[in-house]
Structure 1
Amino acid sequence: MKPVLINIGRGTIISEESIIEALNNGWISGAILDVFPKEPLPVDSPLWSQPNGTQMSVGPNQDKELPQEDQPVSLPLPASAGFAFLQFSSFLFV
């Protein structure tokens, strides 16, 4: 079983480029990121283009009316959700 990176610290603690490299090379099976160096995560970020990406809202914005794809998820994550990005109000599962 490959490791999963979990970073709930500051966005600049771990290099975004290093995370992408680790994912692309299969060094880690996934990652859960709480913050990014630039927020919101830019639409052209390579993180969004990782396979099987789905954005889901979590946190204080849960009370808003959200599109179906932005609904909060429950844990444990499904086996198909090998990668997750956690933004202040977003999850991206890849």
Structure 2
Amino acid sequence: MPAGTHLIEVSSLGYFFSPVRVDISARNPGHIQAALTENRRVLNELVLEPLKEEQYYEMREPFNILSLLKSPMGMMVGFMVVMVFVMPKMMENIGT
């Protein structure tokens, strides 16, 4: 590898790895220094462990009847049902 600073990124399905910065010295041949990018911890040997498992999908919420009633369509249906059954009763009371 040529001298300079290089960034190593590991891509693996299901796991997230921290990128590693590798500095290769031009003055001292064979002198290599590796460090993690997020906490700048120097690595003596280049053995990487995953930070976490990646979740690609969200868990689906369980069915809830109240979520139907809280939706705008459910509220409109509820209002119309109330109007169909309550409004005639109110009109009967006004007429008498």
Normalised by the length of structure 1, the TM-score is 0.20
Normalised by the length of structure 2, the TM-score is 0.19
Larger-Rg structure = 2
The higher-RCO structure (CA 8 Å, 6+ apart) is: 1
More helix by share: 2
